Structure 1
Amino acid sequence: VLKVREQLLTAMESQIKAFYKKKTIFLTGGSGFMGRVAVEKLLRSTDAARIYVLMRQKRGQSPQERIESWKTIPLFELLLKSKPNALERVVSISGDCEEPDLGISLADREILKKEVQVVLHCAATVNFFEVLHKALDINTRATRLMLELAREMQKLEAFVYVSTAFSNCVFQHITEKFYPGNLRCSADNVLKVRKLCDDMVVDGMAPALLDKFPNTYTYTKALAEQLIQTESDKLPVCIYRPGSIVSTNREPIPGWIDNIYGPIASMYGYVLGIIRLALMDANSPACIIPVDLSVNLLLACAWHTATASNEFKTDRMPPTIYNHVPHAKNLITYGQFLNFVDKIRHIYPFERTIWYPIMHTTTISWLFKVARIFYHVVPGHVMDFVLLLRGQKPRMVRLYAKMHKAIDKMAYFSNQKWTFEATNTDQLWQSLSIADKELFAFDMRSLDWNKFLTNGLSGLRLHLAKEEASDESIRRAR
């Protein structure tokens, strides 16, 4: 159905598809969740000539071998059926965002300078527990290095920096503008300190530097935004700020997911009967975005930036910022999110459920710390005792300790009621042709939350829990 739909739309005018035809793209973060979805979308829906992906060696696999391994991932199944040689258009650039000059060789830098027209800078460490020096290297310094490289690109038409909707989370109302006043120390000065001091000294400065920021992730993304504001002069740059990116809504397959972060971790723990109590405001809006909608806006941002850049060549416009969060007319609260999941889990029960799933929430920190003893700690000891009797290694108490640490970190986000302005995103949506609104859909007003979460839980069961979606498997789970 998806293939037929795209064939019909191809006959209509797609400005975004026309823009990417024969383009050469440089993508960082291509091995991550969002990055791979972006690669698949570009290969399936556009005629891009080549996609260079910054990638390091990992677990004995070379960067190009890692790309070859994508052939076995369900995400690429539809693409490879229609275009068996599609991945030949993806070329690895050996490098690492933690290294000086991004770890890119001189020969590869020359290739990028001569060929690249579109840069999608998605690389980031999204670990809320990341030590400051590492978060600075990957999220902030690498952004400066990418800007420096972009200035030397002879054919550059668009540079999209992927930030986060939470980069300015110290404010309750977040507009599509820069917030330099929320930083105690400028990005330039912080990077100077990082260069002069060793890792432990920098990490020790974290409490003073972060100030009101809840973690190193949001702080270093805010610093990177300041670099975009101050160091992107005369470059065709924009900033894309998505909410928490979760499973696919529709394409290439509904419900695809390969990680357990944020709301997905809560959903997974809940349906398995592990997480039974959360430090969460059930009335707070859940700021989640399906990854396919996120990638569609990412690609649309590059097209729009290039178009605007061509129109105003003599007077370069300041970077445009695009907030991408659930629309005010189609919000879902954490309470509604959990209610949806509770209904859906009866349709797609998990075989590995270890306790009957229930979920209670509280916004009172001390009450959570007391109640979790009875909800989590005591049951954890009981389950570990049973595991010992079976001759297995106890693991639940340790798991709950890690989980409580994660819940404490996530509590900042699940107890806030931010409001967002998304004027630029709305205007971009309205400017799209009918074909582009179908091929590159990103409007959150039309998202069917019930259908999305149903597919999401089904995908969680299949892709993460590795439980087949067969009638027999579902009967066993019940």
Structure 2
Amino acid sequence: MNFSAESPLENTDITREKISAWADSHGAKQVDVYGKPSNSHLQELERIRNLSKELQNNLNDLENSVYIPEEEKQAMNPTAPILDYSEHHEFVSANQLDDYYAKEDQADAREEEQRRLTKGKAAKTAIQRFYKDQCVFLTGGTGFLGKVLIEKLLRSCGDLDTIYVLVRPKKGKDPHSRLHDMLDEFLFHRAHEENPKGIHKVVPVVGDMEEPGLGISNEDRKMITSRVTIIINSAATVKFDEKLSIATGINVKGTKSVLQLAKECKHLKALTHVSTAFSQTHVKHIEEKFYEPPMSVEALEAVAQLDDSVVDSILPTLLGNRPNTYCFTKAVAEEAVRKYGEGMPVAILRPSIVISTYEEPVRGWTDSVYGPTGLVVGIGTGVLRTMYMDEDKVADMVPVDLTVNAIIATTYHTANNFKENQTSDIPIYNFVSGAQAPVTWGQFIDANRRHGTSKPTTKAVWYYGLNPTKSYYMFLFYNFFLHYLPALLIDSFCALTGRKQNMLKFYSKVIKLANILFYFSTQDWRFNDDNVREMWRSLPSSDKTLFPFNMADMSWEYMAETFLLGLRVYLVKDDLSTLPEARKKWNRLYYMHQCLKVITVCVVLYIVYSLFNLISWLVLG
């Protein structure tokens, strides 16, 4: 009787191949003498099976822990429509998402190229070589623009020697503590990673722009005049309704003191004064040149010494056709640069309205609520319901990171030109978007509506519903019925229920912030930016990659999404992980908004009907 090599209980034919296979398996201790799997082999199989299960469980846990935005999930199915949570429930296709992610890939490629250049894997660029071993003195370093400027210098010009930052005590904090806390902010995380030793190159200099001689000690003054080679004056009070005495002290007297300090610097290579594109709003076509100031530097300093009540009474006469103390004093500050900067390597950069970052060091970063930033926050949270603006006027805005790159390039360009030409002419650069990449207020608001309704915030109190108007009387009408009347009703309800009443006070602040923008949202200007374009063309390609500021390359659609996400995360403090929750809330607010509109229409119709009946009864008896 023949027996199987696989089992002693079954008849089978014995072949040479089966005997050979059994011998090999038995020799490898995979089967026993009867051809059954050995215990050691069974244990090995069980171990592999357990490892496989463990790996599968880990993969499942990983999949559950990673948040995949709904847009990406939908993009996996090209035929599935993507719901845009807007009032009109528009749909976008998967192809549009493909275009979006293609732009993201391009941005990542640009960032990787910048990292490559910054980390020294490539030869240093011309601008990097210029800043190598230089000592920079910076005013306004703790402000919105100054922070981004310091961060960029640390990352992309890491070989510089020192950045001296003028800092004053504030809110009980000494300058060293203020600077230390600032450098610990999220904005500087990338600089910490790419240039960890660079943070120690930022050194505070105790002083104050309003004080004589900047309030700098004799010891610090000697150190600055002997070591500093580059000065960037970006300090300014950006409060448009600031007291004239304060605005003059910071914007004019401070600038004058910086120029006097620069004259004492033994090794000065360049000084860049950051002004504003709106310093000359009395003309509609603003060129890159000096204009006649509204008042001399000395006369304004004398007026600022008067009692505030006296100054307030004559302020409208002083301002003339200038909209506010900010634009007024910045115009006089340019006159101070022309007068006291003669014979020095000085330049003026005039950026328009500075908004959040475009790409660097992170997309959409901001810590300022002024201007369009406050406008979009108010719209996105449902707080701002109307705005006085002409939607056809150009909204001239520039991202802060591109502005910083322009400042860095202007300083380099000024030093080179002064060294080569030894000219006393002070160049002016209008850094604006309207000349090369114009966007109207209507386009800007519409882009923010699209992205804001698809990526809402959990902090929203009502659905999107802005009613812009270029009629001031219609604005007053909307403002009363959409802002003050609801606020009054809410405060009345709070008073009856014993709660705190603060809505009227809150809306007064909101409208005050909005009022600041009215002058700029109802008219526009034409800017020349030939000097900026020429400076851009003169840069080598490596510097264009590392320090981009060409406005013609900017996409406002990309910027609008960047702007919204940045405000949501960095200003409203609402993490992107809350998007699913925010969309549910947004849908609820949408239906509540529609119901309220229906109720309002019904109430109005009822009132009209009642009035019609009353008139008919009075007339016809």
Offset from partner CA, 1:411-455 (integer Å, 9 cap, x none): 111111211000000000000110111111001111111111101
| SS of 2:267 mapped into structure 1 | coil
Residue 212 (str. 1) matches residue 324 (str. 2) = no
Shift of residue 402, structure 1, vs aligned partner? 2.3
Shift of residue 154, structure 1, vs aligned partner? 0.5
Comparing 372-381 with 115-124, greater Cα deviation is found at 372-381
- Among 150, 153, 162, the alignment partner of 1:42 is 153
| SS of 2:453 mapped into structure 1 | coil
Q: Quote the Cα distance in structure 1 between the aligned partners of 2:500 and 2:265.
A: 55
Q: Cα 1:389–1:91, aligned 2, differ >3 Å: closer, same or farther?
A: farther
- Among 157, 161, 178, the alignment partner of 1:66 is 178
User: Which amino acid in structure 1 is aligned with residue 338 of structure 2?
Assistant: Q
Residue 107 (str. 1) matches residue 219 (str. 2) = yes
| SS of 2:454 mapped into structure 1 | coil
User: Which amino acid in structure 1 is aligned with residue 298 of structure 2?
Assistant: D
Q: Quote the Cα distance in structure 2 between the aligned partners of 1:82 and 1:390.
A: 56
Shift of residue 405, structure 1, vs aligned partner? 2.8
User: Which amino acid in structure 2 is aligned with residue 188 of structure 1?
Assistant: E
User: Which amino acid in structure 1 is aligned with residue 112 of structure 2?
Assistant: V
Residue 190 (str. 1) matches residue 300 (str. 2) = yes
Shift of residue 277, structure 1, vs aligned partner? 0.6
Task: Show structure 1 runs of 5+ residues with no match.
Answer: none
- Among 142, 147, 154, the alignment partner of 1:31 is 142
Q: Is the 8 A contact 2:366 2:570 kept in 1?
A: yes
Q: Cα 1:391–1:90, aligned 2, differ >3 Å: closer, same or farther?
A: farther
Q: Quote the Cα distance in structure 2 between the aligned partners of 1:301 and 1:178.
A: 17
Residue 76 (str. 1) matches residue 188 (str. 2) = yes
User: Which amino acid in structure 2 is aligned with residue 277 of structure 1?
Assistant: T
Q: Cα 1:458–1:473, aligned 2, differ >3 Å: closer, same or farther?
A: farther
| SS of 1:5 mapped into structure 2 | helix
Q: Quote the Cα distance in structure 2 between the aligned partners of 1:3 and 1:404.
A: 39
- Among 265, 270, 278, the alignment partner of 1:158 is 270
- Among 392, 396, 404, the alignment partner of 1:287 is 396
Shift of residue 70, structure 1, vs aligned partner? 2.4
Task: Show structure 2 runs of 5+ residues with no match.
Answer: 1-107, 587-621
Shift of residue 110, structure 1, vs aligned partner? 0.7
Shift of residue 317, structure 1, vs aligned partner? 2.9
Correspondence list, 1:293-442, <5 A: 293-313=402-422, 316-385=423-492, 387=494, 392-442=499-549
Q: Quote the Cα distance in structure 2 between the aligned partners of 1:475 and 1:335.
A: 25
Partner of 1:202: 311
Comparing 77-86 with 317-326, greater Cα deviation is found at 77-86
Partner of 1:263: 372
Correspondence list, 1:239-278, <5 A: 239-278=348-387
Q: Cα 1:100–1:392, aligned 2, differ >3 Å: closer, same or farther?
A: farther
Offset from partner CA, 1:82-118 (integer Å, 9 cap, x none): 2223221000011111222211111111111001111
| SS of 1:16 mapped into structure 2 | helix
Q: Quote the Cα distance in structure 2 between the aligned partners of 1:367 and 1:102.
A: 47
Q: Quote the Cα distance in structure 2 between the aligned partners of 1:392 and 1:82.
A: 51
Q: Is the 8 A contact 2:434 2:526 kept in 1?
A: no
| SS of 1:120 mapped into structure 2 | strand
Partner of 1:233: 342
* Percent pairwise identity: 38
Q: Quote the Cα distance in structure 2 between the aligned partners of 1:14 and 1:477.
A: 50
User: Which amino acid in structure 2 is aligned with residue 357 of structure 1?
Assistant: Y
Shift of residue 327, structure 1, vs aligned partner? 4.2
Offset from partner CA, 1:28-62 (integer Å, 9 cap, x none): 00000000000000000002110000011112221
The structure whose Rg is larger is 2
Q: Cα 1:114–1:199, aligned 2, differ >3 Å: closer, same or farther?
A: farther
| SS of 2:414 mapped into structure 1 | helix
Partner of 2:83: none
Q: Cα 1:421–1:349, aligned 2, differ >3 Å: closer, same or farther?
A: same
Number of aligned residue pairs: give it: 473
Offset from partner CA, 1:7-26 (integer Å, 9 cap, x none): 43351551111111111000
Partner of 1:8: 116
| SS of 2:310 mapped into structure 1 | helix
* Deviation >6 Å, runs of 4+: none
User: Which amino acid in structure 1 is aligned with residue 181 of structure 2?
Assistant: S
Partner of 2:288: 176
Q: Quote the Cα distance in structure 2 between the aligned partners of 1:323 and 1:45.
A: 24
| SS of 2:302 mapped into structure 1 | helix
Q: Quote the Cα distance in structure 2 between the aligned partners of 1:406 and 1:96.
A: 27
Q: Quote the Cα distance in structure 1 between the aligned partners of 2:500 and 2:234.
A: 39
RMSD: 1.7
Q: Quote the Cα distance in structure 2 between the aligned partners of 1:81 and 1:170.
A: 46
Offset from partner CA, 1:286-337 (integer Å, 9 cap, x none): 1110000000000101000100111123xx3311000011143421100001
- Larger RCO (CA under 8 A, 6+ residues apart): 1
Q: Is the 8 A contact 1:257 1:459 kept in 2?
A: yes
Partner of 1:123: 235
Q: Cα 1:3–1:67, aligned 2, differ >3 Å: closer, same or farther?
A: farther
User: Which amino acid in structure 1 is aligned with residue 470 of structure 2?
Assistant: T
Q: Quote the Cα distance in structure 2 between the aligned partners of 1:71 and 1:136.
A: 29
| SS of 1:349 mapped into structure 2 | coil
Q: Quote the Cα distance in structure 2 between the aligned partners of 1:411 and 1:447.
A: 25
| SS of 2:300 mapped into structure 1 | helix
Shift of residue 6, structure 1, vs aligned partner? 2.3
Q: Quote the Cα distance in structure 1 between the aligned partners of 2:463 and 2:368.
A: 24
Q: Is the 8 A contact 1:245 1:290 kept in 2?
A: yes
Q: Quote the Cα distance in structure 1 between the aligned partners of 2:367 and 2:583.
A: 25
Partner of 2:573: 466
